Amino acid sequence: MAQAELQVEVGQAVPDFTLPSSSGEEVSLQQFRGSKLIIYFYPADNTPSCTQESCDFRDAHPLFGETNTAVLGISPDDLKSHNKFITKHGLPFQLLSDPDHTVCELFGVWQLKKLYGKEYMGVVRSTFLIDEHGILVKEWRKVKVKNHAAEVLEAVGAKE
């Protein structure tokens, strides 16, 4: 089966997945049925852009809560790294570890990247909005961090 056939698409149900969480538990997509869910994929803990993005989602967290919207961050980093990142920046949501890139590939964010003339595989910063029924309703790919959390808040109907 071609890779593209395995990727999520706007308007379709997102297949359930389970990943280890910074909370020490396994977290499944199914657990968020009945509320909206923002999943943001980011390359690495404690890097400048990833820190800014995570802190922007942290600062907006109360407004997401007012719209019955949960937030999850996913990167390939391990749980020890996630827990240090959460503690250092006071993140009020869970970070999930995807070291095998399974969920990253499901969402099509594990891609060939280039930096300083070198090619490597990595996470392309992306955010997804899943509705109360598990349907992917909006996606932001190749995200620029500036004002991104505000755009996502607007999409879920939050009033700033």
Active site residues: 50
Please give the single-letter amino acid code of residue 98.
Answer: D
Which token pair is 96?
Answer: 């999930």
CB 8 within 8 A of CB 136: yes
CA 60 to chain CA centroid, nearest Å: 15
Q: Tell me how far apart the alpha carbons of residues 89 and 95 are, in angstroms, rounded to a whole number.
A: 12
Q: Measure the CA dihedral 56/31/78/3, to 10°.
A: -90
